[in-house]
Amino acid sequence: MADYKDVWVYVEHKEGAFTPMSYELFGIGQKLAADLGGNLCALVIAENTDELAKEAGYYGASKVYAVDGAPFKTFRPDAYAKAATTVMDKYKPDVVLYRATSQGADLSSACAATLETGIASDAIGLEIDAAKAVKVTRAAFGGSYLVGVVNTKAKPQLMTVRPKVFPMSERDTGKQAEVAKEAVAVAEGDLRTTILQFMKSEVTVNLVEADIIVSGGRGTGKPEGFNVLRELANTLGGALGASRAAVDSGWIPQEHQVGQTGKTVKPKIYIACGISGAIQHLAGMRTSDYIVAINKDSEAPIFKIASYGIVGDYNQVVPKLIDEFKKRLSR
């Protein structure tokens, strides 16, 4: 049995189907476990955990704690919190990492309340300090300041981690994890919610996992301004993003919003068109590998963090980029 040394990663899924981003915390988890002298483990809760557990092993988990059962087909806070806290209380991990998503925030909060421990949310930096506690770095005041948080009062140490702030570990099908199946009884009558139906949004956009994002801001001037940006995104095989100002103006649905109150992204290329660079927007995309800024205002703050800057009207610049990319991509 673990004695407050192991690092666990909670693996998200949707009805048993996973994406690689479900395992993005295994890289930093491995480093934390090594510094603590413990093991990297995974916590998987699903109707059938076999494939999810196998994938966790491929990404570096040495052991997987798996809870199977029909009540866990889809995420429900009551059921998942009981399963998670039961297993955590039994094996006593030192650290449990969750993605800072709606599901991760929901489950981690419920676990913290039940286990009477602390929680640090939306981490952008993690390290083990001299006292063997995890020092969590998080952004405050829209990214204007960085704050260090340490839980010194209770174990386990729970934290949610902002998506895409740490590099993914390599998937290695030669690795295999030990799987411990844990039985947790959950009666439907004890649950306060029932999943009746999933309704798909008319807007389908996956900004978090996109390698290329083309975003528009207040400088687009109107809803039609996003037409040329969408064409550029499609040409590059990327996703279409937006600033809060554009969303609040009703020019584009909220699903496209990047920033403090939208999605946090880390694409390989982020092209910001007509975006001034307000702190709230930068908080959601400043860790992109390369940032290309297109703005008529040469003094716009976005240029201070841009890898490349183009001073000009996006209506003139973007069509030229589209033409040039189409030529080069057709070769």
Q: Compute the distance between CA of residue 302 and CA of residue 240 in angstroms, rounded to an integer.
A: 18
Q: Is residue 198 in a domain?
A: no
Q: Is residue 183 in a domain?
A: yes
CATH of the domain at 241: 3.40.50.1220
User: Cα 208 from chain centroid?
Assistant: 7
Q: Is residue 16 in a domain?
A: yes
Q: Which of 155, 190, 225 is the last residue of a domain?
A: 190
CATH of the domain at 131: 3.40.50.620
What pLDDT, on the 0 to 100 scale, is given for residue 212? 95
Q: Is residue 200 in a domain?
A: no
Do residues 51 and 124 both lie within one domain?
A: yes
Do residues 42 and 88 both lie within one domain?
A: yes
Q: In which domain, by residue range, is 120 found? A: 7-190
- The answer to whether the bond into 253 is cis (omega within 30° of 0) is no
The one-digit pLDDT tens for each residue of the chain (331 residues) are 446 689 999 999 886 777 778 899 999 999 999 999 999 999 999 999 999 999 999 999 999 999 999 889 889 899 999 999 999 999 999 999 999 988 999 999 999 999 999 899 989 899 999 888 899 998 777 667 788 988 877 899 999 998 888 888 899 999 999 999 999 988 887 888 888 777 776 656 688 889 999 999 999 999 999 999 999 999 999 999 999 999 999 999 999 999 888 888 889 999 999 999 988 899 889 889 999 999 999 999 999 999 999 999 999 999 999 999 999 988 7
Q: Using an 8 Å Cβ cutoff, are 242 and 217 in contact?
A: yes
Q: Is residue 202 in a domain?
A: no
229 — phi, psi (to 5°)?
A: -70, -40
Do residues 145 and 250 both lie within one domain?
A: no
Do residues 183 and 229 both lie within one domain?
A: no
Do residues 63 and 169 both lie within one domain?
A: yes
Q: Which of 121, 155, 190 is the last residue of a domain?
A: 190
Length of the chain: 331
How many distinct structural domains can be found in the chain?
Answer: 2
Q: Which residues contact 11 (CB under 8 A, 6 or more apart)?
A: 18, 22, 23, 42, 43, 44, 52, 55, 56
Q: Is residue 14 in a domain?
A: yes
Q: Is residue 196 in a domain?
A: no
Residue 17: count other Cβ atoms within 10 Å of its Cβ. 10
Do residues 182 and 45 both lie within one domain?
A: yes
Do residues 220 and 321 both lie within one domain?
A: yes
pTM: 0.81
Do residues 161 and 219 both lie within one domain?
A: no
Q: Which of 160, 190, 220 is the last residue of a domain?
A: 190
